[in-house]
Structure 1
Amino acid sequence: MAIGEGTAVAATRECPECGSPVPVHELYVEWCAACDWNVDPGAPDPEPGRIAAVRRRLVRAYGDQLAAELEQGADDGRPRGRDAMTVLAFGVSLLVHGLTSALVAAGVLLVVLGWDTGVQPVLGALLLGIAAALRPRPRRLPKDEPVLYRADAPQLFDLIDEVASAVGTAGVHAVVVEPAANAAVTTYGLRQQRVLYLGLGLWEILTPQERVALLGHELGHFAHGDIRRMRVTGGALHALSVWYYLLAPTAPQRLLDRFVNAATFLPRCVVYGLLRLLDGLTLRASQRAEYLADASAARVGSSAAAVALMDRLLVADAVDERLRRESVAAQMRGGRAGREARESAGHELWERLAERFGAVPEREYERLRRAAARRGHSVDATHPPTHLRRRLAAAGGPHPARVKCAGPREAAVAAELAPARAAVARRVISDYAG
Structure 2
Amino acid sequence: MSVVDEQTTQPCPECGAEMRMDPRFTTWCTECDWNVDPDAPEEGSGRFEKARRARAHRDGERLHTRMGDAESAGGGGRLSLILVHAIACAVHAVTVVLTAVAAWCVVRGWGGLGVLLGLVLLLLAWTLRPRLSRLPQGGHVLGRDDAPALYDVIDEVADVAGTRGVDLVVVDAEINASVTSCGLRGRRVLTLGLPLWEMLGSQQRIALLGHELGHFSNGDTRRGLVVGTAYHSLLTWRYYLAPTADPTPVEMVVNLVYLVPRLLIRAVLLTLDRLTSGVHRRGEYLADSFAGRAGSTEAAADLMDKLLVAESAATTMRREANRPRAGRRRPGTATEGADNLWAVLAADVESIPDHEYERRRRVGAARGHCVDSSHPPTHLRRERLLAAAPVPAAVVMSDESERRISGELAGVRRLVAEGILRDGIDG
Tell me which of 381, 403, 406 is aligned to 1:411. 403
1:6–1:356 contact (8 Å) kept in structure 2: no
Higher relative contact order (CA 8 A, sep 6+): 1
Tell me which residue corresponds to 2:97: 102
Report the Cα offset of residue 322 of structure 1.
4.3
Tell me which residue corresponds to 1:290: 284
Tell me which of 196, 202, 206 is aligned to 1:208. 202
Q: Over residues 140-162 of structure 1, what are the superposed CA-to-partner deviations in whole Å (9 max), with x where a residue is unaligned?
A: 21353211111110000000000
**Match status 1:369 vs 2:361:** yes
Q: Provide the aligned C-alpha RMSD in A.
A: 2.7
Tell me which of 11, 15, 22 is aligned to 2:12. 15
Q: Over residues 243-302 of structure 1, what are the superposed CA-to-partner deviations in whole Å (9 max), with x where a residue is unaligned?
A: 222322333264454444333332221111100011122222222211111011011111
Tell me which of 39, 43, 55 is aligned to 1:42. 39
Tell me which residue corresponds to 1:381: 373
Q: 1:411 to 1:181 in 2, by over 3 A?
A: same
Counterparts in 2 of 1:25-36, with a 5 A limit? 25-36=22-33
> Which shifted more, 169-178 or 310-319?
310-319
- Counterpart code for 1:162: E
- Counterpart code for 2:52: R
Report the Cα offset of residue 422 of structure 1.
2.0
Q: 2: CA distance between counterparts of 1:272 and 1:174? A: 37
Q: 1: CA distance between counterparts of 2:371 and 2:333? A: 34
TM-score, normalised relative to structure 2: 0.90
Tell me which of 386, 390, 401 is aligned to 2:382. 390
Q: 1: CA distance between counterparts of 2:250 and 2:342? A: 53
Q: Over residues 216-246 of structure 1, what are the superposed CA-to-partner deviations in whole Å (9 max), with x where a residue is unaligned?
A: 0011111122233222222221211222223
Q: Specify the SS of the correspondent of 1:204.
A: helix
Tell me which residue corresponds to 2:418: 426
Report the Cα offset of residue 385 of structure 1.
1.7
- Counterpart code for 1:401: A
Q: 1:245 to 1:426 in 2, by over 3 A?
A: farther
Q: Specify the SS of the correspondent of 1:433.
A: coil
**Match status 1:237 vs 2:234:** no
TM-score, normalised relative to structure 1: 0.89
Counterparts in 2 of 1:221-370, with a 5 A limit? 221-252=215-246, 254-327=248-321, 330=324, 342-370=334-362
- Counterpart code for 1:421: R
Report the Cα offset of residue 428 of structure 1.
2.4
Q: Over residues 343-371 of structure 1, what are the superposed CA-to-partner deviations in whole Å (9 max), with x where a residue is unaligned?
A: 44333332222222222111100111111
Q: 2: CA distance between counterparts of 1:111 and 1:320? A: 54
1:52–1:381 contact (8 Å) kept in structure 2: no
1:56–1:382 contact (8 Å) kept in structure 2: no
Tell me which residue corresponds to 1:113: 108
Q: 1:257 to 1:422 in 2, by over 3 A?
A: farther
1:6–1:360 contact (8 Å) kept in structure 2: no
Report the Cα offset of residue 80 of structure 1.
4.8
Q: 2: CA distance between counterparts of 1:169 and 1:161? A: 9
Q: 1: CA distance between counterparts of 2:182 and 2:218? A: 19
Number of residue-to-residue matches in the alignment: 423
> Could you list the runs of 5+ residues in structure 2 that have no partner in the other structure?
none
Tell me which residue corresponds to 2:165: 171
1:330–1:341 contact (8 Å) kept in structure 2: no
1:139–1:188 contact (8 Å) kept in structure 2: yes
How high is the sequence identity, in percent, across the aligned residues? 43
> Which shifted more, 106-115 or 369-378?
106-115
1:9–1:23 contact (8 Å) kept in structure 2: no
Q: 1:79 to 1:10 in 2, by over 3 A?
A: closer
Tell me which residue corresponds to 1:60: 57
Report the Cα offset of residue 306 of structure 1.
0.7
1:331–1:342 contact (8 Å) kept in structure 2: no
